[in-house]
Amino acid sequence: MNEFSDECLDVFLADQGRLFDEPVAGTREEAEAFLEDCMAQVVPSVRDVRKWLDESGMDVSGLTDEELEEQAEVFALPDGSYLIVEG
């Protein structure tokens, strides 16, 4: 089971509209349960975002780091890491 920080959960709650048409969670507890169910990952760097997306089948070879950070399933966290959520 992943442990998602409060900051991570808050970012997801605030920005979930980028990925989903309707909110999937309204509280930290709901957000954590949702992220665990969809096997979301927190990775330490944009390099790891690239690797994760590539391994999941997305062609990221032509994307810059900035374009990777703008992908709907990628949420930049305050500590410099990234939350990746499959939509």
Q: What is the 3 state secondary structure string of 29-62?
A: HHHHHHHHHCCCEEECCHHHHHHHHHHCCCCCCC
pLDDT in tens, 19-49: 999 999 999 999 999 999 999 999 999 999 9
% the chain with pLDDT above 70: 97
Q: Residue 58's pLDDT band (boundaries 50, 70, 90)?
A: very high
pTM of this structure: 0.92
Q: Residue 86's pLDDT band (boundaries 50, 70, 90)?
A: confident
